[in-house]
Structure 1
Amino acid sequence: MRVSTNMIYDQGVIALQKQSAALLHTGQQIATGRKILTPSDDPVASARALDVSQSKSVNQQFITNQGYADDALKLVDGQLDGAGEIIQYARERVLAAGNPALSPSDRQSIASDLRSQFDAMLAIANTRDANGDYLFAGYRSNTPPFEKTVTAGTLGSDYKGDQGSRTMQVSSSRFMPISFGGESVFGSEGDGVFKVLGEFISALEGGGDVSGAVSTALGGLDDSLDRTLTVRAQIGSQQVEVEQLGFIGSDLDLQYQTTLSNLQDLDYNEAISRLTQQRTFLEAAQQSFLKTTGLSLFNYLS
Structure 2
Amino acid sequence: MRISTGMIFDAGRNSMMRQSADLVHTQQQLSSGRRVLRPSDDPIAAARALEVTQSKSVNTQFQTNQGYAKGALASLESTLGSITEILTDVRTRAVEAGNGAFSDSEHRAIATDLEAQFNALLGIANVKDATGDYQFAGYQSAQPAFSVGVSGEVIYEGDAGERAMQVGSTRVMPVAEPGSKVFMADPATGESQVFGAISQFIAALRDPASDKGAAVSQAIGDMDAALENVSTIRASVGSRMVELDALGELAAAHDQQYAETLSQLQDLDYNEAISRFTQQQTILEAAQQSYVRVTGLSLFNLLS
TM-score range, shorter chain: over 0.9
| Aligned positions of 1:187-266 closer than 5 A | 187-189=184-186, 192-208=193-209, 209-266=211-268
Q: Which residue identity is paired with 1:194?
A: F
SS of 2:282's equivalent in the other structure is helix
- Total equivalences in the alignment: 292
- What's the counterpart of residue 35 of structure 1? 35
Q: Which residue identity is paired with 1:256?
A: Y
CA–CA distance in 2 between the matches of 1:134 and 1:191? 17
CA–CA distance in 2 between the matches of 1:275 and 1:148? 80
1:158-190 Cα deviation digits (max 9, x unpaired):
111111101100111111011111121111256
Q: Shift of the alpha carbon at 1:274? A: 0.9
CA contact (8 A) 2:45 2:265 kept: yes
TM-score, normalising length from structure 2?
0.93
CA contact (8 A) 1:191 1:220 kept: no
Q: Which residue identity is paired with 1:17?
A: M
SS of 2:268's equivalent in the other structure is coil
- What's the counterpart of residue 279 of structure 1? 281
- What's the counterpart of residue 300 of structure 1? none
Instruction: Flag as ranges the 4+ runs of structure 1 deviating above 6 A.
Output: none
CA contact (8 A) 1:29 1:266 kept: yes
Segment of structure 1 superposing worse, 75-84 or 266-275: 266-275
- What's the counterpart of residue 183 of structure 2? 186
RMSD between aligned alpha carbons? 1.4
1:164-220 Cα deviation digits (max 9, x unpaired):
101100111111011111121111256621011100111111123411100000000
2:72 paired with 1:72: yes
- What's the counterpart of residue 16 of structure 1? 16
Structure 1 alignment gaps of length 5 or more: 296-302
Q: Shift of the alpha carbon at 1:156? A: 2.8
CA–CA distance in 2 between the matches of 1:229 and 1:278? 73
Q: Shift of the alpha carbon at 1:3? A: 2.2
CA contact (8 A) 2:104 2:208 kept: yes
- What's the counterpart of residue 292 of structure 1? 294
- What's the counterpart of residue 298 of structure 1? none
- What's the counterpart of residue 173 of structure 1? 170
Q: Which residue identity is paired with 2:206?
A: E
| Aligned positions of 1:119-198 closer than 5 A | 119-149=119-149, 151=151, 155-189=152-186, 192-198=193-199
SS of 1:170's equivalent in the other structure is strand
- What's the counterpart of residue 61 of structure 2? 61
CA–CA distance in 1 between the matches of 2:92 and 2:148? 23
Q: Which residue identity is paired with 2:265?
A: L
